[in-house]
């Protein structure tokens, strides 16, 4: 007998946005108290599946199918910093810079 697995999601009745948790106001359309709980039952059939997400299941791809296009980079005037960043800053990315805070004050 196949096992059934249930999970809950919340769907906006105005625009159809799906959320993992309840929200009083839909962030997409702005309507209040339109998020309704839905319980989803899935038959697993004894096969273990990966963690679910709101976007569905991911499918593995071969490396030859993945595009390796280089991103456009904004040049950085500090040569070593540009080298660490792979040639410059990628628009829309975030870079965390860390280091010893006392190293700049040493003489």
How far from the centroid of its chain's Cα atoms is residue 68's Cα?
20
Question: Against a cut of 0.95, is the pTM above it?
Answer: no
CB of 38 closer than 8 Å to CB of 9: yes
CA–CA distance, 43 with 34 (Å, rounded to integer)? 29
pLDDT by 10s per residue, the chain, length 107: 667 788 888 998 988 888 888 888 888 888 898 889 988 887 766 555 555 555 566 788 888 887 777 778 899 999 998 898 888 898 888 889 887 777 555 55
């Amino acid at each position: 007998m196949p096992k059934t697995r249930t999970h809950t999601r919340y769907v906006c009745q105005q625009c159809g946005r799906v959320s993992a948790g309840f929200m009083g106001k839909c962030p997409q359309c702005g309507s209040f108290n339109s998020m309704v709980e839905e319980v989803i039952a899935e038959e697993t059939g004894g096969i273990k599946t990966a963690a679910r997400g709101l976007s569905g299941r991911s499918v593995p791809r071969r490396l030859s199918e993945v595009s390796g296009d280089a991103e456009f980079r904004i040049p950085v005037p500090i040569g070593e910093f540009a080298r660490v960043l792979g040639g410059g800053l990628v628009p829309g990315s975030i870079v965390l810079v860390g280091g010893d805070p006392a190293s700049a004050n040493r003489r």
